[in-house]
Amino acid sequence: MLFNSLPFLIFFPAVLLPYFIMPAKLRQFWLLGASYFFYMCWNPAYVLLILFSTVATYAAGLLMQKGDKKRKKAILATVIIMNLALLFFFKYWDFALANLNRVLGLIHVQAVKSPFSLLLPVGISFYTFQSLGYAIDIYRGKLTAEKNFISYALFVSFFPQLVAGPIERSSDLLPQIREVGKKRLWTREGIVSGFGMMLWGYFMKMCIADRVSIPVDAIFANLHACGTVETVAAAAGFSIQIYADFAGYSAIAIGAARMMGVGLTENFNTPYFAESISDFWHRWHVSLSSWFRDYVYIPLGGNRKGRLRKYLNLMITFLVSGLWHGSSWSYVLWGGIHGFYLVMGEVLKPLRERILKLCNVDREAFSFHFGRRLITCLLAGFAWIFFRAHSIKTAVYFVKRMFTHYNPWALFDESMFRWGLDRREMGILFFCLLILLAVSILRQVKKTDIGSFLLKQNLYFRWAVFLLLITAVLVWGEYGVDFDSAQFIYFNF
C-alpha cells in the first residue's frame, strides 16, 4: 500500500477517524492492528518477520534489563546476529551468492544455484535498525526495557514510518506510543500542520520526483545516445528526484503521524543547502546518519583514537551505509565516495584554509557560502550517479560519456525536450521546482517545516495553499492508467 495509492487514501482516514473518537485504552490496539494490516498489504506472510524481530528484541530487552553485564552482552550479540541474519538472508543472500559464483567462476568451479526465491520484505532495513537501536540503548543503560508488548510492537510497526522511516529512536517514539493508550494526543494544530505536511509530501513525490524521473530514466536507459549535457542533466535530475522522493515520503509519514498526535524525527533539513559533505549528512536522511553515527561510527572508536583511525572509521561507516541502501557494489561505492569526500575534507582542510587566507576570501560574503553550497551539490550529485546506475560498469560508462562527449548544442536544439518531458511538462517541472526552492528557503530561514509554518498563517492563506497543493497533486501528479508509477525509491532498501 503505497502512500500515493488509492488504497492508502481510503486506509488512512479509515484509521484516523475512529482513532479520534475511540476510548484511549483502545487506541494502541487499533493502531497496532492498522499497522499490521498496512504491512500485510504487501505480503501477508512477511508479517511473521516483523513479528519475529519484535518478539526477539522485546524479549532481549526484558532479559537485558535483569542480567549482569556479561549476560547482557551475550543477549545483545544474539539479538544483533538474529536481526542481521534476517536482513542478510532476505536482502543480501542473492548478492552474496552472485559474488561467490563470480569467485568460483574465476577458479572454474561450477556456480551454486540459490535454493530460495526471495522477495525483499518491504521496510526490513528500517524496522530491523529501529529494533536494534532499541536493544543497544537498553544494553547501554540509556533506556529501560518496555514491559508492555503492545506498546513495543506498535513502536516497531507504527505504520507511518514502518516501511521507509524515519528510523525512530526508542527514547523519542516509545514514550509517545505509551501516551497513545493513556490520553488524547491529537490536537487541531497537529491535524492542520500534519495535513499540510502530507500535502507537501505528496506534491514533492508526485509532481516533482515522479515527473523528473521520466527524463532521468530515459537518459540512463539510453546512455549510448547521451553526451555531457544529457548526463549532467540526468545527474542533476536524479539529485532532485531522490530528494523529492524520499523527503516527500518522509513528509507524508511525519504529517500522518502528526495528525495522530505523534511526533516523528525530522528526516531532511534542506540538504542541498549544505556547505560541506559533513553538513550534508547532518541534513540528509538524518535519522539514518545519526543511527550510523551512534551505533557504528562511535562504537568503532569515532574520532577518539587518532586521525588515521578516524578516517578508517569514517570509511567503514559509509561503506556499511552504502551496503545498507542496496545489495550492489555500486551502493557500496557510493558510500565509499562519500566516505572519501569526508576524509579528503579533513585532510585538505589546512590547505583550504591557507588558500582562502592567501586569496583574502571574505567568508561572510554570500558568494562564499553560495560557492560552498554549489561545490557540495556537485560532489553529492556526482556520487548519486553511482547510486542510480545500479552497477559500477554503468556508472563508469555514464561518467565517461559525461567527460568525453561534449555536446553543448543539445542545450539549444530542443533535443532536451525529447527525453519524455515536452515544453509544457518541463515548464510544470520548473514551476514546481521554484515552489520547492521557495519552501526550502523558508525552511532555512524560519527554521520550521511547511506544516508548522502554514499553521501560523491566516486561515484564508492556509486554505488557499491547501487547495492549490491538492489541485496540483491531483492534476499534475504523475499517476494513473498510463503511468507506470515508480515506487518510492527508498522502499527498496
Partner 1 sequence: MKKYLAIPIFCLIAVLWLGRVYDVLRWKDTHGDYLSSITQLDSLPDNSVDAAFVGSSHVYAGIYPSYFWEDRGISAFNTAISGMDRDSAIHYVKYLFEHQSPRVVVVDVFCLTYEKHAQQGNIYRNLLSFPLSKDGLAQLDAYAAKDESVSENKPDYLTRWPIIHTRYRELTRRDFVSDAPNHFGKGEYLNWESRTADKAVLTEADGNAQLSADHEAWLKELKELCEAHGSTLALMALPFDTYEGDQEKMDATAVWAEANGVAFWNFNRLAEKIGLDYETDFFDSSHLNALGAKKAALFLEDELSAVCELPDHRGEAGYESWDLDLHYFTQRENDDVLAQTTELSEFVPLLAGGQDLCAVISIEGECGEEFEALRSLGIDPSDSGKWLWRNGSLSKVMENDPNAGELMIDADGFSTFRLRYLGDFAPGNVMLDRSDCSNTTDGCRIAVYDSFLHRVVTIREFKYEKEEFKYFKF
Minimum CB–partner distance for residue 2 and partner 1 (Å) = 13
Minimum CB–partner distance for residue 467 and partner 1 (Å) = 6
Give yes or no for a contact between 169 and 265, defined as CB atoms under 8 angstroms apart.
Answer: yes
Size of the site for partner 1 (CB under 8 A): 19
Q: What is the Cα–Cα distance from 152 to 150, expressed in whole angstroms? A: 5
Residue number with CB closer to partner 1 (7 or 306):
7
Minimum CB–partner distance for residue 18 and partner 1 (Å) = 16
How many whole angstroms from its chain centre is CA 57? Answer: 23
Q: Which of 191, 389, 429, 450 binds partner 1 (CB under 8 A)?
A: 191
Does residue 166 have a cis peptide bond before it, meaning omega lies within 30 degrees of 0?
A: yes
- Contact track, partner 1, 393-432, x by CB under 8 A: -------------------------------xx-------
**Which of 152, 3, 126 lies closest to 65, judged by CA?**
152
Catalytic residue (choose from 282, 325, 338, 369): 325
Q: What is the Cα–Cα distance from 103 to 83, expressed in whole angstroms? A: 27
Minimum CB–partner distance for residue 185 and partner 1 (Å) = 16
Rounded (10°) angle between helices 47-66 and 149-157: 130
Is residue 6 at the binding interface for partner 1, with CB under 8 A as the rule?
yes
Q: What is the Cα–Cα distance from 232 to 152, expressed in whole angstroms? A: 46
Going by C-beta distance under 8 Å and a sequence separation of 6 or more, which residues neighbour residue 379? 277, 341
Per CB under 8 A, the segment of 21-29, 116-124, 221-229, 480-488 that binds partner 1 is 480-488
Catalytic residue status for 325: yes
Give yes or no for a contact between 166 and 287, defined as CB atoms under 8 angstroms apart.
Answer: yes
Q: Could you say which residues in the range 439-478 bind partner 1, by CB under 8 A?
A: 459, 463, 466-467, 470-471, 474-477
Residue number with CB closer to partner 1 (90 or 476):
476
Minimum CB–partner distance for residue 463 and partner 1 (Å) = 6
Q: What is the Cα–Cα distance from 27 to 21, expressed in whole angstroms? A: 9
Residue number with CB closer to partner 1 (49 or 472):
472
- Contact track, partner 1, 204-243, x by CB under 8 A: ----------------------------------------
Residue number with CB closer to partner 1 (52 or 463):
463
Residue 460 CB: number of other CB atoms within 10 A?
A: 8
| Gyration radius (Cα) of the chain, Å | 24
Residue number with CB closer to partner 1 (368 or 466):
466
Q: Could you say which residues in the range 295-324 bind partner 1, by CB under 8 A?
A: none
Is residue 14 at the binding interface for partner 1, with CB under 8 A as the rule?
no
Q: Which of 68, 364, 482, 484 binds partner 1 (CB under 8 A)?
A: 482
Minimum CB–partner distance for residue 45 and partner 1 (Å) = 23
Q: In 22-68, where does DSSP find H-type helix?
A: 24-40, 47-66
Give yes or no for a contact between 116 and 93, defined as CB atoms under 8 angstroms apart.
Answer: yes
Q: In 149-272, where does DSSP find H-type helix?
A: 149-157, 170-180, 188-202, 210-221, 228-259
Is residue 188 at the binding interface for partner 1, with CB under 8 A as the rule?
yes
The amino acid occupying position 255 is: G
Residues that bind partner 1 (CB under 8 A): 6, 188, 191, 424-425, 459, 463, 466-467, 470-471, 474-477, 479-482
Name the residues annotated as catalytic: 325
